[in-house]
Amino acid sequence: MFDQYLRTTQIPVLEYKIQSGKLLYHWANCIDGFNMPVKLSNSDQWITPGTDWKELKSGGAMKDDLKIDNNFYINVKKV
């Protein structure tokens, strides 16, 4: 995580999509191995994105938007 913020000028992008009520997410615009967890602001839930796509395992259907805690220096993009 420190190499991303100390040795590059790239701002990590959390890309996500919602398919069939499931959240799929991953990091883009980042160094290899970047895996910083982020907190969702509309719940007390944390997700741990990596450079590969991951799926949120939740019992309820996901809404159309994803809200991230503002304390993280990242960009968020729906794809």
Q: What is the mean pLDDT of residues 24-47?
A: 91
Calculate the average pLDDT of the chain: 89
For residue 62, pLDDT beyond 70: no
Q: Which CATH number fits domain 2-78: 1.10.10, 1.10.3470, 3.10.450, 2.60.40?
A: 2.60.40
For residue 57, pLDDT beyond 60: yes
pLDDT at 61: 55
Amino acid symbol at 14: L
Residue 10 near residue 73, CB atoms below 8 Å: no
Find the Cα–Cα–Cα–Cα dihedral 56, 60, 65, 71, rounded to 10°: -60
pTM: 0.87
Residue among 9, 52, 57 nearest 27 (CA): 52
